[in-house]
Chain A
């Protein structure tokens, strides 16, 4: 679907006309990310992050394909193939490796901002539930891919990370241990596990790319949301994606690449752990097993469950950790407020910022050693996390009195943020 005023693709020269009548691929692109897609005119910079995530995916696939040409997926050869061959002998191998490792961090960073933007502006609400649901699927795929990629260098954290994560499955009653051995292809991570992780690590990015196409397709049915949360009323509310948002995204991509390059060229090991420069050793457990930073909040939730109640503490932790993401699938129905944007929801806005703080503290706890103080903090913050989604948001959406919404996007843009005056004429600046 598109708005009736969307521009139509009209191929001018005979060649493009010839192509269009046989395979209308240029028309498809024109309607998806070209002048044929009308977008609200008032999107702020937080709407750049979807495109940035797409850029990060392409960077990961391109660098990853070249790295795979030099990588040995064997327990005996993986560490040396990265730290000797790729880092020292392959032309610009150090660049590819650091770009890929830090690219994962940049990918997760922009995806987290993208998700929190969706939470703040209510982008998950009708009619965009499907966009949100596919987004959560992409997030899960992304986490699986990132985890399996981190195992491939076969350093100490790779090995013990694989040991811990596959250990989750042994929390399942009765068949858990059997499932863990089946997943690993052995009693501990070794060649079999490394090879299947490599295979899946190469496969999943393409699954993600497919899910991204569905994500964008689902977005194009209702069209993009916007910071007011008020739906598009007419042509004056929108601008064509190209050249308006292609230009704005060009600037956004530039800023993204500056931050990314600063990490790659000047601080490539900042986000990594020193222990992963030690070859994997099944006989020596690191003092602190810590995942990559983007898993810290979930790791804190996992470790917060220290009490057995009906089921074992470990199983509670695993259920809660997966549950903390699974519950995002239900968010469109947990939040029943018809108002989308938190700009007009005074109570929800407070709850949102408390949640941001809560997740940051969880992240801090997940990255620290599990001292009693840190565990207590994780337990409080994990409880708040579940309370936010399952108790606070459903209650707020009933109790809250939203502020008056602007009558239209154009009215909001022209200065009447609170909105009560009807705009008589649709002013197209």
Chain B
């Protein structure tokens, strides 16, 4: 009796797992039939980001410094009043074409100052920003928590395209068909704004880019809402990884080297094995 039990223990264990999975399967299928999952408001109304093409796209993408500078202007004049950019330093701006003197001035004139504590009195004061400082943290007292924007294009599905769509998506209203199913979306709650590109559909951020020429670009580009949204998205691709262009350049050299080295290694392999059937 015992040897038989030991020999068949594998079937018993396997059978137990399959039996429990069978029960679970029965449960899942019967609930699926009796209570089919209802369509959610997100499924009915959420939109995937619109297509956006930037110079930094793709495995060989490069930054377009002129566009990044326009994007920085939009960030400075519009986004920076609520959003932090705490992983980026003022000095990093030199990488997108600002001179050392310009960076010094940008840092000095930045409205939010660096907090400093007096080591003798223990009281807090503030000082002007230096190029070596990171962008100071912004404290926002209103509804919602504006996320830090340093990594935002890496931290959202769709990246820059998502940011661009979100910024330009406030005009899109739910369809009549969707409203019939979800009448609560006919009126957006106070302090919230409908935006079909936002995961929860209602977002606390008021439309930030509301009219053309909200900022003035020094390179003569017309500041339409769409243009400003594109430029700031491009800028936020740069803030998320300022070393991206260097990474691409290094990658080309590394992969070319490896292709040659691997070709040589393949030649060595053929030479060593010549005449040995395998």
A residues with a Cβ closer than 8 A to B are: 41-43, 80, 83-84, 87-88, 94-95, 98, 239, 243-244, 247-248, 250-251, 253-255, 257-258, 261-262, 264-269, 274-275, 277-279, 287, 304-307, 309, 313, 316, 320, 323, 330, 334, 371-372, 375-376, 379-380, 382-383, 386-387, 389-391, 394, 413-414, 429
Contact = CB atoms under 8 A, between A and B. Distances in A.
Contacts of A83: 87, 150-151
B40 to A, nearest CB: 11
Given A87-B241, A383-B21, A258 B255 contact: yes
Contact of A414 (B22, B59, B266, B277): B277
A389 B157 contact: no
Interface centre among A267, A371, A386 (most CB of B within 10 A): A386
B24 A386 contact: no
Interface in B247-278: 247-248, 250-252, 254-255, 258-259, 261-262, 265-266, 268-269, 271-273, 275-278
Given A87-B243, A94-B247, A274-B155, A382 B21 contact: yes
Contacts of B156: 274
Contacts of B87: 80, 83-84, 88
B37 interface: yes
13 contacts: A254-B258, A261-B254, A262-B255, A265-B251, A274-B156, A279-B148, A371-B37, A372-B31, A379-B28, A380-B25, A383-B22, A390-B17, A394-B11
A262 B273 CA distance: 29
Given A251-B269, A267-B59, A391 B14 contact: yes
Nearest to A327: B13
Contacts of B254: 261, 265
Contacts of B248: 265-266
Interface in B119-177: 134, 147-148, 150-151, 154-157
A82 to B, nearest CB: 10
Contacts of A386: 14, 17-18, 21
A277 B151 contact: yes
A345 to B, nearest CB: 19
A358 B268 CA distance: 39
A336 to B, nearest CB: 11
B38 interface: no
Given A251-B266, A265-B247, 14 more contacts: A88-B92, A244-B272, A258-B262, A265-B252, A269-B154, A278-B155, A305-B24, A330-B10, A383-B21, A386-B21, A390-B14, A391-B14, A413-B277, A429-B275
B258 A258 contact: yes
Nearest to B92: A88
Nearest to B275: A429
Contacts of B268: 247, 250-251
B186 interface: no
A208 to B, nearest CB: 26
Nearest to B22: A383
